Amino acid sequence: MADRYTRRSAILARPEAVYGTAEVAFVATDGILLAAPPSFVIEPDNVPRNLVTPWMGNSEELPATRRAKLNFKVELVGSGVAGTPPAWGKLLRGCGFAETIVAANRVEYAFINSGFEGLTFRFFRDGVRYLTRGARGTVKLDLSAYAIPTADFEFWGFDVQALSSALPAIDLTAFQTPQVVTTENSGDILLGPTLTAGAIAGGTSLASKGIMWDMGGKLAHRKLLGGEKIAITDRAVSGQMTVDLLDTEEITWRTDINAVSLTSLGFNHGNAAGKRIGVFAPRVQRTNPQAVDDDGAIMISTDLRALPGVTGAPELTIIAR
């Protein structure tokens, strides 16, 4: 009996022209370059018969619907060409972001509140191909200091199908080599900056251990006859950062937090055109400041809550330029 190996896995993804209608014209460039082993789990919703008989024992369960949960990481880096969507941009579109392309300059991904796109995934695992449609998801961004920046995706899709299939040919050349988050490649977290024409600038620079953001998308599998879907029902964007503060700065920091003083936050990464990434949140509440030990030095860990604008402007924007 031949062994099957988990490393012989591949993921292909395509945005759906019509939500819930599976895409069929997959090509090699639909492949996703994975930064860690993926997880693919099928959850069935079976219905028990619960038959009444004069003897003990089970009744069978009948299959109803099922969903796939797909988790994977990709490296966070631009496309290599300013104004060209990065290879992972289509994944953000499936997480409740709209894509705006400014030719030869940048691509922006900002939250929307309706009209969410869906993705069709093909997941290959050594001899078996799974297809799931109507997939939507959520994502976490990890821009920790002295590490490769990553986006950690979780997608739900329905109507999971399996068939025998060899691993496909995949072309991963659209995924660029990332840059490690360092002072030379990134710089500091900016407190109170502005976002203008894709550029995050101004404000106060904070020495830090980097920043992490969790989009906090709430997913639901809505089982409707003639309208089955994965719904994004809400989101709660949160984050975390650990910063280096003087004693006087810590006192001001805590005073502002106690007064629920909101601020903007920005972070730039990358020093080469086409590979730069920016993350900007215009209204952020800082909470739960805690002193932590960092090789004997005191730093302040702070939780973050990104808030939408007072008229509903997106609470977070990701820029590739």
- So what's the pLDDT on residue 248? 97
Half-sphere exposure (CA, 13 Å, Cβ side) for 62?
5
Continuous H helices in 176-270:
247-258
Q: Which segments of the chain have a pLDDT < 50?
A: none
β-bridge mates for residue 190, sequence order:
205, 266
Q: What pLDDT is stored for residue 255 in this prediction?
A: 98
Whole-angstrom distance, CA of residue 186 vs CA of residue 282? 20
SS3 103: coil
Nearest to 169 by CA among 5, 31, 33, 37: 31
Q: What b-and-e string marks burial along 195-209, b requiring 16 or more CB atoms within 10 Å of the CB?
A: beebbbeebeebebb
Helix, coil or strand: residue 69:
strand
Q: Which residues contact 272 (CB under 8 A, 6 or more apart)?
A: 179
CA gap 110, 96 in Å, rounded: 8
Query: Which pTM value belongs to this model?
Result: 0.96
Q: How far is CA 94 from CA 4, 6, 45, 141, 199, in A?
A: 31, 26, 24, 15, 25
Residue with tokens 């604008």: 309
